Amino acid sequence: MKNIPLLLMGCGGVGRQLLQHIVSCRSLHAQQGVHLRVIGVCDSKSLVFASDVITRELNDQTLYEVCRVKSNGSSLSALGDLGECIVYGNSESKRKVMDIAALLGKATGLAFVDCSASSETIGVLNQVVDMGCCVVLANKKPLTSIMEDYDKLVSYPRRIRHESTVGAGLPVIASLNRLLSSGDPVHRIIGSLSGTLGYVMSEVEDGKPLSEVVKAAKNLGFTEPDPRDDLSGMDVARKALILARLLGRRINLDNIKIESLYPDEMGPDAMSVEEFLASGIVSLDNDVQERVKKALLNGNVLRYVCVIEGSRCEVGIQELPKDSPLGRLRGSDNVLEIYSRCYNKQPLVIQGAGAGNDTTAAGVLADILDIQDLFPSKE
């Protein structure tokens, strides 16, 4: 039986869904000869961990209680008496995490699973990789920090997985790694990597005003609470940077040309979400509709995409042929076209749901299982 100790950082939607997946897959994993031993869970303020991280774990009832408390918006510090578990406050959490990494990293191994959306985890991850720990990421920020941080994280390539940083559970990273490791150089990537912006662009293609589409997307839960977090293009830029670095480009976020769908004067520092939705975005409708009409006259459609080719790495609106995989995209799916020596005239196309807590958490779980051979078997 493979016994994989793991510590989860981040108990938002993805983190909670991951814990639920782990519990619901117990019998399946037992048949596969694997046991995922959750020894600790932390949020930005607190850490809950097993009283003896070498032999014990947070039981399934405790994991469900963690999910319940976090779904109510409370901190882990709000957990009551959990028996064999200990709760640390913010001031001591980081120190304790490092103690656990030092204890288990070189001995039994330990998987740090980052499902947060914080840059605060970068310092911890950079240290634990040198302690023999594995790292599994859904959080894009550690991989899109400065090159020094990136180089440290990927310095032990067998011990890091990050499929869910791009395209949720889609096999984007794995596919690229297979091409690169087989000596098939990738020379162009173009993709729609935002379910929100994919939905928005396919809806405005039908003649709907941008303002109405964004409001509808927000009501459907497709956008962040502030839709400008999606419309800025920054999330797509982070995904593009991860892909570009995977191809060997030594660039940072500020090297990427990013087209925002709103001007600076409509940013969060200039107007509230309510003002932006009520009056700001309406003023953008005509310009977007004109761009849609122009594309249609050329036999094309508009898509918000990332393009990586040579030294070029940019994200923004592009005119694309209607009959291309990206041109046929409808709704919130992600689509990625990869061009290489073997996939030159006809690209390798990866398409499917590229967002959602369930899909992303499933991708994280698959990544954890993918590193099981790095952990010792237990009789």
CA–CA separation, 100 and 95 (whole Å):
9
What pLDDT was estimated at residue 332? 87
Q: What percent of the chain has pLDDT over 70?
A: 98
Q: Which two tokens stand for residue 200?
A: 């928005």
What's the distance, Cα to Cα, between the start and end of the chain in Å?
6
State mean pLDDT over 232-250. Answer: 97
Give yes or no for residue 358 having a pLDDT over 70. yes
* Closest to 239 (Cα-Cα) out of 155, 148, 334: 334
CA–CA separation, 270 and 280 (whole Å):
11
What pLDDT was estimated at residue 81? 67
> For residues 26 and 45, which has the higher predicted lDDT (pLDDT)?
26
Which DSSP category does 108 fall into? Answer: T
CA–CA separation, 76 and 73 (whole Å):
10
> For residues 93 and 340, which has the higher predicted lDDT (pLDDT)?
340
pLDDT in tens, 78-94: 887 676 677 777 668 88
Q: Answer for the pair 47, 76: CB distance below 8 angstroms, yes or no.
A: yes
Task: Tally the C-alpha atoms within 13 A of residue 136's C-alpha that lie toward its C-beta.
Answer: 28
What pLDDT was estimated at residue 152? 97
Q: Answer for the pair 66, 26: CB distance below 8 angstroms, yes or no.
A: no
CA–CA separation, 371 and 217 (whole Å):
37
pLDDT in tens, 278-308: 999 999 999 999 999 999 999 999 999 999 9
CA–CA separation, 69 and 86 (whole Å):
16
Q: Which two tokens stand for residue 249?
A: 């480009």
pLDDT in tens, 22-34: 999 999 999 999 9
What pLDDT was estimated at residue 356? 86
**DSSP assignment of 268-329:** TTTS-HHHIIIIIGGGGHHHHHHHHHHHHHTTEEEEEEEEEETTEEEEEEEEEETTSTTTT-
Catalytic positions, written as ranges: 239
**DSSP assignment of 184-244:** --EEEEEEE--HHHHHHHHHHTTT--HHHHHHHHHHTT-S-SSTHHHHT-HHHHHHHHHHH
Q: Which residues of 126-142 are buried (b: 16+ CB within 10 A; e: fewer)?
A: bbbbebbbbbbbbbbbb
- The model's pTM is 0.95
CA–CA separation, 181 and 215 (whole Å):
44
* Closest to 97 (Cα-Cα) out of 113, 79, 117: 113
Q: Which two tokens stand for residue 189?
A: 């990537």
Q: What percent of the chain has pLDDT over 90?
A: 86
Give yes or no for residue 212 having a pLDDT over 80. yes
Q: Answer for the pair 115, 12: CB distance below 8 angstroms, yes or no.
A: yes
pLDDT in tens, 116-166: 999 999 999 999 999 999 999 999 999 999 999 999 999 999 999 999 999
* Closest to 76 (Cα-Cα) out of 60, 86, 87, 61: 87
Task: List residues forming the annotated binding site for NADP(+).
Answer: 10-15
CA–CA separation, 201 and 85 (whole Å):
48
Dihedral angle sign, alpha carbons of residues 350, 212, 12, 18: negative
Give yes or no for residue 38 having a pLDDT over 80. yes
Give yes or no for residue 272 having a pLDDT over 70. yes
What pLDDT was estimated at residue 379? 60
**pLDDT bucket at 224, cuts 50 / 70 / 90:** confident
What pLDDT was estimated at residue 221? 81
Which of 41-55, 67-81, 290-304 has the lowest average pLDDT?
A: 67-81
What pLDDT was estimated at residue 83? 66
- Distance of CA 281 to CAs 285, 289, 318, Å? 7, 13, 20
Task: List residues forming the annotated binding site.
Answer: 10-15, 140, 224
CA–CA separation, 110 and 117 (whole Å):
21
What pLDDT was estimated at residue 94? 83
**pLDDT bucket at 220, cuts 50 / 70 / 90:** confident
Read off φ and ψ for residue 376, nearest 5 degrees. Answer: -70, 150
